[in-house]
A and B are shown apart, each in its own frame.
Chain A
């Protein structure tokens, strides 16, 4: 996926004026936010569950190497093949090789953010293999000239039904229809033969379970089941951090994930894949490959962003983020939007390639209080800001402004004088309306807001006078 994170500011501003996008985004508040709140209220002690989720993820990360080795052993013993991909190109090469060796021409894909992260579709196409996205949202994006997703759980949240109606009419050559059920039926009819003709199915994995060597996916559409059972080969691609020690652990996280993501107590499908089809079984793939991708994760494990690896990709942080709600996922310019993306994107693609992202948050901590594994997202963003400061990645004006202000704030007498002057100047600027319409250097504020003028004297002055 093309990296455009350094364009955040301009794209965010443009998206604010996009009425159609805003309509789509509005649905997040009414759907995801309200549904989650209801699910949490119904559950009872959700806080205890979050704490348990955090503990499980921390335990897995503390001995990540051991759990991954265990996973490989168990998966191999059950007939799966485990591949290790150090980076994106390794991951693509491994999967393209498997496809080539087995004469694969067509791949049916269920939703996988890691496949977006490594650019798998592009690599498959380049190798002459046709990937077909079978998740409805991802399918819509794929036929719309491989448009990138704007949300990790609801990839087409930026599109309205009208958009999809136009797109299907154009691409499928069918009469235009706007009934969501009819549109879904149309996509389903087109996708069914694809499942049957694909030689390989590719899925992600929400978790991988060390004790049984299984991969686990949750879906609502059932396409994941078809992708992982109908084709001859099944390839699961996921990040190395997704390992959990036991099935018991996975079941705790399963209570957290759908509730946090969509407010569901459980998704329509929960599939556990353990080895390929056995002799006595009637269906399932003949080969099962599991591609475990590092792509920067082990570097995170050793650093200050370690807590981010607990992430179970529920999307709650973006659903609840006022900035995401206003600007949408595309503004973030890479695979992972919202608060989690503000941390993951600079961590994976380099801080200098996503300068705005760690700053693109008001630090309201709405994300931190909903995150099912209690990742302190604002704290991590702040740490990245510190790194930006240390590496000189902040704009000169910001650094100078801060330095000057910081120095003055440590000189009380000078500070008192400066604020006395400022209070008077601003009072004068506010005039009889007591409102400042334009302020030099802070047009970011005054372009869209007035600045209420101060009374003209500082508290410090007035207080000293009152005491005399």
Chain B
């Protein structure tokens, strides 16, 4: 199975380990992984800022780069959701491209969803031990139905105990450029998230989206917590989170 990795701009710049972990997991599941070199960003920041023209241009670019693979997998519900749930809407007035975009959207999956629903992995290479709590990112949860998948994967790590936090499904306040435009509100929401996560006593907060994780970690450190780890689930499953 030829799978293209959609690296995501945040993993590329901020946490390359997440993308390497995703490759490791996909190969573990028997995929041939390719990484289209010219990829940059899915265009969601432009789309959610009202810059439709740029969003369309970047969607076209993604289409050219990622057409023709069996699957496109992203270690992010946000970018996965952009391609799967929103790209088609961008081309509603362009029937020729729409057909191709819909095919791309149909083949695009969020990483944990792909590992569970398509690859049906029965083991994962990681060996993390500790108590973790899981933050459900909004796009993954509400656009792609990612909820049980990451938990099913965590259950495959014998050393991991999952302790659910209150309001696991509530937004962490990141919201892309929202986190810059409405900094105070965004910080407050991140603070609520940190409070709920820390109340579980878990030694790691885990999630599937780097945007949320950077936001949560940023607030956590400012609150003075230098101990609790904040990890992408791919890092933990692939054995690179320790």
A residues near B (Cβ < 8 Å) are: 9, 12-13, 16, 322-323, 326-327, 359-366, 368-369, 382, 384-390, 394, 398, 402-403, 405-406, 409-410, 412, 415, 419, 422-423, 435, 442-445, 447-452, 454-455, 457-460, 462-464
Contacts of B19 in A (CB 8 A): 459, 463
For A463, list chain B residues within 8 Å (CB): 16, 19-20, 35
**Are B218 and A452 within 8 A (Cβ)?**
yes
Q: Residues 17-53 of chain B: 1 if any A CB is under 8 Å from the residue's CB, otherwise 0? A: 1011000000000000001011111010111111110
Question: Which A residues touch B143, using CB under 8 A?
Answer: 365
**Complex: A361 Cα to B177 Cα, angstroms:** 10
Does B118 belong to the interface (CB within 8 Å)? no
Stretch at the interface among B91-99, B100-108, B157-165, B166-174: B166-174
Q: Does B183 lie within 8 Å of A448, measured CB to CB?
A: yes
* 25 A-B residue pairings within 8 Å (CB atoms): A13-B185, A322-B170, A360-B182, A362-B176, A364-B138, A365-B138, A369-B142, A382-B50, A385-B49, A389-B50, A394-B50, A398-B49, A402-B45, A403-B54, A410-B61, A412-B37, A435-B221, A444-B181, A445-B179, A448-B184, A450-B217, A450-B222, A458-B13, A459-B16, A459-B20
Q: How far is the CA of A363 from the CA of B86 in the complex (A)?
A: 13
Residues in chain A near residue B35, CB distance under 8 A: 463
Collect the chain B residues with CB atoms within 8 Å of residue A464's CB.
Answer: 37
Q: Identify which of B109-117, B127-135, B186-194, B199-207 touches chain A.
A: B186-194
Further pairs besides A445-B183, A448-B191, A464-B37: 8, Cβ < 8 Å = A363-B175, A365-B143, A386-B51, A394-B50, A448-B184, A448-B188, A448-B219, A449-B190
Q: By the criterion CB–CB under 8 Å, are B186 and A444 in contact?
A: yes
Quick check: A455 and B16 within 8 Å, CB to CB?
yes
Q: Name the residue in A327, A369, A403, A448 with the highest tally of chain B Cβ atoms < 10 Å from its Cβ.
A: A448
Given contacts A435-B221, A450-B218, contact A385 B50 (CB under 8 A): yes
B7 at the interface (CB under 8 A from A): yes
When A406-B57, A451-B214 are in contact, do A361 and B175 touch as well, CB less than 8 Å? yes
> For residue B37, which residues in chain A have a CB less than 8 angstroms away from its CB?
412, 460, 464
Contact A388-B50, Cβ < 8 Å, known A12-B184, A451-B218? yes
Q: Which residues of A contact B181 (CB under 8 A)?
A: 359, 398, 444
Task: List, in ascending order, chain A residues with CB within 8 A of B43's CB.
Answer: 409
The answer on a CB contact under 8 Å between B222 and A449 is yes
User: Which residues of A have CB within 8 Å of B9?
Assistant: 409, 419
Instruction: Give chain A nearest CB distance to B40 CB in angstroms.
Output: 4
A455–B17 contact, CB under 8 A? yes
User: Is A415 a contact partner of B40 (Cβ separation < 8 A)?
Assistant: yes
Q: Say yes or no for B236: interface residue by CB 8 A criterion.
A: no
Picked from B12, B45, B54, the residue with its CB within 8 Å of the CB of A459 is B12
Knowing A362-B173, A410-B57, A415-B40 are in contact, say whether A423-B183 is a contact too (CB < 8 A). Answer: no
Are B183 and A362 in contact (CB-based, < 8 A)? no
- Which A-B residue pairs are the 8 nearest by beta carbons? A362-B175, A444-B183, A385-B50, A448-B187, A449-B218, A406-B54, A459-B16, A364-B171
A12 near B142: Cβ-Cβ < 8 Å: no
The interface residues of chain B lying within 8 Å CB-to-CB of A460 are 7, 12, 37
- Asked if B13 contacts A422 (CB within 8 A), the reply is yes
Pick from A13, A359, A412, A459: contact of B178, CB under 8 Å: A359
B57: chain A residues at CB < 8 Å are 406, 410
Q: Is B73 an interface residue (CB 8 A)?
A: no
Task: Say if the beta carbon of B15 comes within 8 Å of chain A.
Answer: yes
B232: min CB distance to chain A, Å = 12
Residues of A within 8 A of B214 (CB): 451-452
Min CB distance B77 to A, Å, is 12
The residues of B that contact A366 with a CB separation of less than 8 Å are: 138, 142, 169-171
| Contact across chains for B16 and A323 when beta carbons are under 8 A apart | no
Residues of A near B46 (CB, < 8 A) are 402, 405-406
A447 to B217, CA, bound (A): 14
The minimal Cβ–Cβ distance linking A418 to chain B, given in whole angstroms, is: 9
The CB with the most chain A CB atoms within 10 A, among B38, B169, B183, is that of: B183
| In the bound complex, CA of A163 to CA of B28 (Å) | 61
Which A residues are in CB contact (< 8 Å) with B52?
386, 389
Contact partner of B171 (CB less than 8 A), chosen from A322, A387, A405, is A322
Chain A residues lying within 8 Å of B61, measured Cβ to Cβ, are: 410
Complex interface: chain A residues within 8 A of B38 (CB): 412
Question: Within residues 216 to 230 of chain B, which ones have a CB less than 8 A from any CB in chain A?
Answer: 217-219, 221-222, 230
Residue of A nearest to B12 (CB): A459
A residues near B54, Cβ cutoff 8 Å: 402-403, 406, 409
List chain A residues, Cβ under 8 A from B184: 12-13, 16, 447-448
B11 within 8 A of A: yes
In Å, the complex CA distance between A6 and B45 comes to: 23
A459 contacts B58, C-beta separation under 8 Å: no
Across the two chains, which residue of chain B brings its CB closest to A449?
B218
The answer on a CB contact under 8 Å between A389 and B142 is: no
- Residues in A with CB closer than 8 Å to B48 are 363, 382, 385
- Closest-by-CB residue of B relative to A453 is B14
Tell me whether A12 and B185 are in contact (CB under 8 A): yes
Question: Given A366-B170, A422-B13, do A16 and B188 touch, yes or no (CB 8 Å)?
Answer: yes
Chain A CB within 10 A, most for which of B41, B43, B57, B185: B185
Asked whether B51 lies within 8 Å of A402 as measured between CB atoms, the reply is: yes
- Whether the Cβ atoms of A452 and B171 lie closer than 8 Å is no
B215 contacts the other chain (CB 8 A): yes
